[in-house]
Structure 1
Amino acid sequence: MGNFPTVLMMRDFGTEAQKKEWMPGFLDGTKRLAFGLTEPNHGSDATYLETTAYRDGDEWVINGMKRWNSGLHHATHDIIFARTSGTPGDPKGISAFLVPTDAPGFKVEFFWWTFNMPTDHAEVSITDVRVGPEALFGPAEMGLELAQHFVHENRIRQAASSLGAAQFCINEAVRYSNERITWGKKLSVNQGIQFPLVELHTEAAMLRQLIRYTASMLDQTHHMEVTHLVAMCNYRANRLACDAADRAMQTCGGVGYSRHMPFEHIYRHHRRYRITEGSEEIQMRKVASNLFGFGSSKERK
């Protein structure tokens, strides 16, 4: 499932010329974007990124490294975030560029092997890569606005995906326990089986309403107005998916732990969501910022 955040970024930040070029390409598959924000030395602290870009005549010259650069297995271009002015830690002074993946100096060093096995997340080196003024994506110096737009859309997408995976695990565990006979009775008659699944099922029901509400609000208002709600959805749903997969494995016993059932794969896949798009600790920090009225939050909601 997906909500095509790069399309939404182009809609909201692209120039008219970029929209004319890119929107048809998104639809017919001739234009495919990767996302390059994280670096070897900087993840959640994106304002400290070390990739730089400077003007040389009409061109921009970009140098740096990117890590966990998602989508590069099939991308025609990469959204590269680079510091163009200011000092480390300054949220302004970072710009976004649409960089062709076949540009001289742009190199995919390798793809990371993870808990979830091979990925589309690349390690990228950028050495004196030159792009024209048309490659600037969004306002100069305000690239983090694009990055926030992207991650908010991805966070709600992750939340919906994790909720669906969690409910599947719960349903399958219930089905198995109703069919499995132990000591002459259904496994499901045991409260030790029932209660953990009841807890998970209840949390899934509550999260479903919050995710639907938040997704609706994302369509109706500026994403920064609901950043705390997006964070709530993201960290709780991603954690729920892991908890539900783990409980399903436990309920189904040895076969649940095996690869003949999908729970171990679901766990491996959704465990990464507790780190990507901002770790769950970052999500909780955003909620705390809104709740206690500090940081960038202007009011308590």
Structure 2
Amino acid sequence: MSDAVDSTVVGFSETEERQELRKQVFKLAGTFGREYFTAQARGGGKTTDLWMAVAKAGYLGINIPEEYGGGGGGIGDVAAVCEELAAQGCPLLLMVVSPAICGTVIAKYGTEEQKQKWLPGLCDGTGTMAFGITEPDAGTNTHNITTTARRDGDEWVLTGRKIWVSGIDEAANVLIVARTEDERTGKLKPCLFVVPTDAEGFEANPIPMEIVSPEKQFTLFIDDVRLPADALVGDENGGLSQLFAGLNPERIMAASFSTGLARHALAKAASYAKEREVFGQPIGGHQAIAHPLAQSHIEIEMARLMTQKAAALYEAGDEMAAGEAANMAKYAAAEAACDTVDRAVQTHGGNGISQEYGMAGLLVAARAGRIAPVSREMILNFVAMHSLGLPKSY
């Protein structure tokens, strides 16, 4: 057997362009850092300066076609941006929502007029867009959402309620998942509408949160909000395929969000373990400290590799395989993040629960990855049914 390696077969390294992108985003985020992020969060401020810096550098809309002001890259590129921001302690949740979900859906299914109207703002940071799908009484069961859209002449009228919507206070518009009646069958079908956040009949109430983040969560009340005909994105009869064009990228981005947080926590823990001395040597020399951190490094790298696979499959247009991989990547990354942050806190001992070292604040942020944008239990249901062929359990 030859010792030579065919480089065309080995696909485990990202392109030089992607690696350079990561390097530059990490460098940019480092000029802000975790202290900036937590200071803004605790002081009631926003990370607008960071958001606009990312936009100015051309990273915000890197997945959006060049003709609309984007970078012409893929979901793997914007996921890399998201991960590197989080790795510097600046996880921007709106990166998951605005360019990845909304940008992808509009770029893929929007009319030319809609693309010209909304995509440039997503790229330059001036037209941030939120995403509303979850409802209080539907939860994970998207088929049971009750927000409806009905025609009234040349307009649409939306009525309903959404919960756990990120960044409404920073977004000019929100992409709402509603249901319309099929004229042929009378059944309700999912459709996507761009709703201005200052529309009459639209109300957003903040949800008090324990998580340390400048990005807030909201409950939305949509009371007979009137929209023009072109507020509908995509084909009215497009069904779930249009919705999942945004949900698979959402899972890939969520995985990147989690792996970035995990990398940040692990780097802090490893640094502390090298410096903190107990019993005459750095605590990192004790296996009780070293082994858990080494285990986290392995788990993070496995999650990152799965995320890269999911992004590659999505960009190749293999939606079925991408859906499976995106779910598994999101699961693996959330588990790695939760375990890593817990180990990082333990490594710091009592300092791990102080504000000075910034570890404890990561606990809730990492834990959210097991819940949103889809729970770990629903991912296990998906894998059991679709990957293993087991009977449907829900």
Tell me the TM-score normalised to structure 1 length.
0.89
Does the alignment pair 1:31 with 2:127?
A: yes
- Look up the match of 2:39: none
Q: Aligned with 1:95: secondary structure?
A: strand
**How far does residue 49 in structure 1 lie from its aligned partner after superposition?**
0.5
Q: Aligned with 1:274: secondary structure?
A: coil
CA contact under 8 A between 1:59 and 1:131: conserved in structure 2? yes
Does the alignment pair 1:128 with 2:224?
A: yes
Q: CA RMSD in A?
A: 2.2
Q: Aligned with 1:82: secondary structure?
A: strand
Aligned residues between the structures: 292
Q: Compared with structure 1, are the counterparts of its residues 29 and 205 closer, same or farther at alpha carbon in structure 2 (3 Å cutoff)?
A: closer
- Look up the match of 1:163: 259
Q: Aligned with 1:176: secondary structure?
A: helix
Q: After the TM superposition, which segments of 4 or more aligned residues of structure 1 sit over 6 Å from their partners?
A: none
Out of 248, 253, 271, the residue aligned to residue 367 of structure 2 is 271
- Look up the match of 1:70: 166
Out of 105, 127, 130, the residue aligned to residue 9 of structure 1 is 105
Distance 2:194 2:181 in 1: 18
- Look up the match of 2:323: 227
Q: Aligned with 2:193: secondary structure?
A: strand
Distance 2:274 2:120 in 1: 50
Q: Which amino acid aligns with 1:278?
A: V
Q: Which amino acid aligns with 2:210?
A: F
Q: Aligned with 2:360: secondary structure?
A: helix
Distance 2:128 2:275 in 1: 46
Distance 1:57 1:290 in 2: 42
1:94-115: CA deviation from partner (whole Å, max 9, x where unpaired):
111111222211111x111122
- Gap runs ≥5 in structure 1: 297-301
CA contact under 8 A between 2:181 and 2:187: conserved in structure 1? no
Q: Which amino acid aligns with 2:249?
A: E
1:80-139: CA deviation from partner (whole Å, max 9, x where unpaired):
2212126xxx9961111111222211111x111122056432111111111121111111
**How far does residue 18 in structure 1 lie from its aligned partner after superposition?**
1.0
1:59-98 superposed matches below 5 A: 59-85=155-181, 93-98=189-194
Distance 1:271 1:239 in 2: 9
CA contact under 8 A between 2:163 and 2:219: conserved in structure 1? yes
Q: Compared with structure 1, are the counterparts of its residues 92 and 176 closer, same or farther at alpha carbon in structure 2 (3 Å cutoff)?
A: same
CA contact under 8 A between 2:195 and 2:227: conserved in structure 1? yes
Distance 2:169 2:239 in 1: 24
CA contact under 8 A between 1:35 and 1:80: conserved in structure 2? yes
Q: Which amino acid aligns with 1:111?
A: P
**How far does residue 143 in structure 1 lie from its aligned partner after superposition?**
5.0
Does the alignment pair 1:111 with 2:192?
A: no
Q: Aligned with 1:55: secondary structure?
A: strand
1:154-183: CA deviation from partner (whole Å, max 9, x where unpaired):
221121222122123223222222222212
**How far does residue 38 in structure 1 lie from its aligned partner after superposition?**
0.9
Q: Aligned with 1:124: secondary structure?
A: strand
Q: Which amino acid aligns with 1:116?
A: I
Distance 1:78 1:107 in 2: 12
- Look up the match of 2:284: 188
Distance 1:182 1:60 in 2: 67
Q: Compared with structure 1, are the counterparts of its residues 294 and 55 closer, same or farther at alpha carbon in structure 2 (3 Å cutoff)?
A: farther
Q: Which amino acid aligns with 1:250?
A: Q
> Which deviates the most, 237-246 or 117-126?
117-126
**How far does residue 63 in structure 1 lie from its aligned partner after superposition?**
0.9
**How far does residue 25 in structure 1 lie from its aligned partner after superposition?**
2.8
Distance 2:347 2:362 in 1: 15
Q: How many percent of aligned residue pairs carry the same amino acid?
A: 34
**How far does residue 241 in structure 1 lie from its aligned partner after superposition?**
0.9
Q: Aligned with 1:243: secondary structure?
A: helix
Distance 2:272 2:212 in 1: 28
Q: Compared with structure 1, are the counterparts of its residues 91 and 262 closer, same or farther at alpha carbon in structure 2 (3 Å cutoff)?
A: farther
1:169-180 superposed matches below 5 A: 169-180=265-276
Q: Which amino acid aligns with 2:231?
A: A
